């Protein structure tokens, strides 16, 4: 049996996989040695935090903070390439903010991009996108 948390995170991963355009998408994997030319997204499960609890019926209301690491490398207009990829993630989330009804809502925070200099290699622009997933479960472990 799959937990609500896993259902929500799997659905989010599926949405990210659907971005296409040659973008590589991973979940909870280490950063590879090479960033693909079209860009790289790594979904980190993050933390569900502390739930708000309602009684009768007993429900746990989560504000789960997942992270999507965004990486682009050495293109002629690195800033534009990064903005396009980050915006594409935002559009994919906005197209289904309830993940097909699994989630009450997904909020996105603005990215804080940084340039990563690697000696002898093109510059990498990266950021962590925080996605807050609002969902309800019937058990703290479900």
Q: Which of 20, 15, 62, 63 is nearest to 43 (CA)?
A: 15
Per-residue pLDDT reduced to its tens digit, 40-65: 999 999 999 999 999 999 999 999 99
Q: What is the pLDDT of residue 117?
A: 82
Close Cβ partners of 67 (under 8 Å, ≥ 6 residues apart): 43, 44, 46, 128, 129, 130, 131
pTM for this entry = 0.93
Whether residue 4 is predicted with pLDDT greater than 90 in this model: the reply is yes
Per-residue pLDDT reduced to its tens digit, 107-128: 999 998 998 887 877 889 999 9
Which residues does residue 106 pair with via DSSP β-bridges, in sequence order? 133
- Torsions phi, psi of 131, nearest 5? -115, 120
Q: What is the CATH number of the domain that holds 15?
A: 3.30.2000.10
| Residue 142 included in any domain | no
Please state the domain count of the chain.
1
- Residue 65, domain extent: 4-137
């Amino acid at each position: 049996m799959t937990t609500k948390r896993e259902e929500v995170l799997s659905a989010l991963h599926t949405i990210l996989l659907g971005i296409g355009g040659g973008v590589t998408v991973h979940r909870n994997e280490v950063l590879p040695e090479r960033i693909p030319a079209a860009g790289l997204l790594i979904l980190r499960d993050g933390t569900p935090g502390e739930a708000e609890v309602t009684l009768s019926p007993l429900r746990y209301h989560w504000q789960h903070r997942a992270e999507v690491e965004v990486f682009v490398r050495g293109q002629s207009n690195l800033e534009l390439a990064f903005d396009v990829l980050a915006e594409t993630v935002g559009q994919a989330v906005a197209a289904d903010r309830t993940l097909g009804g699994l989630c009450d809502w997904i909020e996105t925070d603005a990215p804080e991009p940084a340039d990563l200099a690697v000696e002898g290699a093109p510059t990498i622009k990266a950021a962590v996108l925080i996605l807050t997933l609002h969902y309800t479960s019937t058990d703290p472990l479900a």
